């Protein structure tokens, strides 16, 4: 069993581009004609931004460096990258310059002609880069160095040489197709690279050599440490000094759009190599990332987290997946905590607390909240089904979170609650229909704060529902009935929240059972105060 060390930060230096994509586009209408599309998206892209997003999804801590414009698109890049947990302090805004951007009409077969605005990318200067921040990283990924001329000049090469002098690896990929003249400009950089990661078309264009192994060995002759060549559906070619060439097969996928597949491969390969995987297994991670990204529109599609990527490998090659899991560390304690939330979901479903597997569960971890994804049936929950959001609701990791995320965040922002369970239990729904608060039928209501109020009906997922529930919890309630909806229970820990959810439903059961027999005898506030005093004297409930 491997002992995982916490993964360090990766510096990504390269083009940060806004992609606007639409699909499917059969043809561009002539004149002022129009067509209807199924989907239009705007994403973070480029061999800087796209790789950074995928690394963050795989659980790596990432800092980005590059140039953007001082326009709305530059603001979009900052905001979207931060939503993935990426540190954007190294993105400099060039005054009076537009952000690099691309329009991509995606054909039905996934092909992607492009229309590009060069923008700010090529204006990056070595003086723009915070050396201390760059050198604090564990590894450096250079995306599209051919697009940033300053990096290929003596000062830029010295910056990279200084980084590598600390024994830290440097990886690079190209953004454009290239030609032999581009290779000439890259000659000073190649000896500083541990891995160069072009695709097959780029490699052939750079070297003028059609045979891929021969072309890759030409780059090694020029100083590159090793070369990984992505070949689309034909997999990845690995070429290293003193090793036989290896082709790692691609994984079957349904292609919607190939935008960003190369970026995702880079993220997977780098993640694997830094974790100590053999290059073949690292390439498997990269290929699996690419197969997932191809299934959706845009460079940020497909990948949810590392678990989902390894699951692709496991389907075809369980032995390789097992090796990778042994070496590739979870991002940090968040992985373990996501597993814990998922296990709680399955337990809640098994114990019958969640009717029909519906409901949502969350856990606060510092300034972040782990919450079940949208549309999840609790009995089927895995770690990859647990999204991570900020207290402001920005998605950090995982799939689109529950529609009731606002409800949970409203509680966390108004109280010291550590975990929340929301279910649609039959008895709690029934009591909420007829009572303004849960009748005090048993002294165990003290464990729920002594009072379980009913909040008025508001549409699920609404700010009004979040505000009303947050107010009730802030006033001391540990459980709240939601009229025509269900219940919410809170606790310091997940176990506390689940126990309070079960207790809420049990108290509702007791009340409804008694009401069928007659008029239930209810405890008064004085009765509850006496019970609380007795419990204190006797140490009731203490272990």
Choose the catalytic residue: 146, 181, 339, 404: 404
399 closest CA partner among 300, 311, 330, 324: 300
- As a whole number of angstroms, the distance between CA 61 and CA 42 comes to 23
> 36 CB contacts (<8 Å, ≥6 apart)?
none
59 closest CA partner among 132, 8, 123: 8
126 closest CA partner among 74, 174, 66, 86: 66
- As a whole number of angstroms, the distance between CA 173 and CA 156 comes to 17
3-class SS string, 486-530: EEEEEECCHHHHHHHHHHHHHHHHHHHHHHHHCCCCCCCHHHHHH
Around Cβ 215, how many Cβ atoms within 10 Å? 23
Token pair listed for 161: 């040489």
> 223 CB contacts (<8 Å, ≥6 apart)?
187, 190, 191, 192, 193
Are the CB atoms for 378 and 354 separated by under 8 Å? yes
Are the CB atoms for 197 and 173 separated by under 8 Å? yes
SS3 107: coil
- As a whole number of angstroms, the distance between CA 338 and CA 231 comes to 35
DSSP per residue over 129-195, as a string?
Answer: S-HHHHHTSSEEEEE-GGG-GGGGSHHHHHHHHHHHTTT--EEEE-SS---HHHHHHHTTTGGG-SE
Report the DSSP beta bridge partners of residue 68. Answer: 93
507 closest CA partner among 466, 448, 421: 448
Determine whether 404 is an active site residue: yes
- As a whole number of angstroms, the distance between CA 94 and CA 124 comes to 9
Token pair listed for 350: 């098994």
Q: Which residues are catalytic?
A: 404
């Amino acid at each position: 069993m491997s002992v995982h060390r916490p993964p360090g930060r990766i510096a990504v230096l390269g083009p940060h581009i806004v992609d606007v994509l639409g699909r499917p586009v059969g043809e561009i209408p002539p004149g002022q004609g129009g067509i209807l599309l199924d989907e239009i998206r705007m994403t973070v892209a480029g061999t800087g931004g796209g790789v950074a997003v995928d690394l963050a999804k795989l659980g790596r801590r990432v800092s980005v460096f590059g140039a953007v414009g001082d326009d709305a698109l530059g603001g979009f890049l900052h905001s979207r990258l931060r939503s993935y947990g990426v540190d954007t302090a190294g993105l400099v805004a060039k005054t009076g310059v537009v952000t690099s951007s691309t329009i991509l009409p995606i054909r039905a077969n996934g092909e992607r002609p492009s229309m590009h605005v060069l923008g700010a990318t090529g204006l990056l200067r070595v003086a723009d880069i915070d050396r201390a921040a760059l050198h604090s990283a564990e590894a450096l990924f250079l995306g599209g160095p051919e697009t940033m001329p300053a990096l290929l000049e003596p000062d830029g090469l010295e910056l990279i040489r200084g980084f590598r002098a600390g024994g830290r690896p440097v990886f690079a990929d190209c953004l454009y197709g290239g030609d032999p003249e581009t290779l000439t400009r890259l000659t000073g950089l190649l000896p500083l690279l541990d891995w160069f990661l072009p695709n097959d078309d780029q490699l052939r264009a750079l070297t003028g050599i059609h045979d891929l192994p021969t072309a890759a060995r030409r780059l090694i002759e020029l100083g590159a440490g090793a070369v990984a060549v992505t070949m689309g559906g034909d997999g990845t070619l690995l070429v290293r000094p003193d090793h036989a060439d290896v082709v790692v097969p691609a994984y079957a996928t349904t292609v919607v759009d190939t935008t960003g597949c190369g970026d995702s491969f880079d993220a997977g390969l780098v993640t694997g190599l830094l974790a100590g995987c053999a290059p073949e297994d690292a390439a498997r991670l990269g290929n699996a990332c690419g197969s997932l990204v191809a299934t959706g529109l845009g460079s940020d599609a497909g990948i949810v987290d590392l678990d989902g990527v390894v699951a692709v490998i496991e389907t075809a090659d369980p032995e390789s997946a097992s090796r990778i899991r042994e070496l590739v560390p979870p991002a940090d304690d968040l992985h373990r905590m996501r597993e814990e939330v998922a296990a709680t979901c399955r337990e809640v479903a098994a114990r019958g607390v969640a009717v029909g597997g519906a409901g949502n569960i969350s856990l606060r971890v510092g300034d972040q909240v782990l919450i079940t994804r949208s549309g999840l049936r609790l009995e089927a929950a895995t770690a990859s089904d647990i999204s991570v959001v900020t207290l402001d609701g920005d998605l950090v990791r995982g799939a689109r979170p529950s529609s009731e995320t606002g409800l949970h965040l409203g509680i966390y922002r108004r109280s010291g609650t550590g975990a929340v369970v929301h279910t649609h239990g039959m008895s709690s729904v029934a009591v909420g229909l007829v009572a303004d608060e849960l009748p005090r039928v048993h002294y165990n209501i003290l464990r729920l704060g002594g009072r379980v109020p009913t909040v008025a009906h508001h549409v699920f997922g609404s700010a009004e529902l979040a505000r009303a529930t947050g107010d009730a919890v802030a006033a001391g309630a540990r459980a709240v009935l939601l009229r025509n909806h269900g219940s919410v229970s809170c606790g310091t820990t997940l176990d506390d929240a689940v126990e309070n959810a079960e207790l809420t439903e049990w108290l509702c059961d007791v009340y409804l059972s008694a009401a069928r027999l007659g008029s239930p005898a209810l405890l008064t506030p004085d009765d509850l105060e006496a019970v609380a005093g007795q419990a204190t004297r006797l140490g009731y409930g203490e272990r």
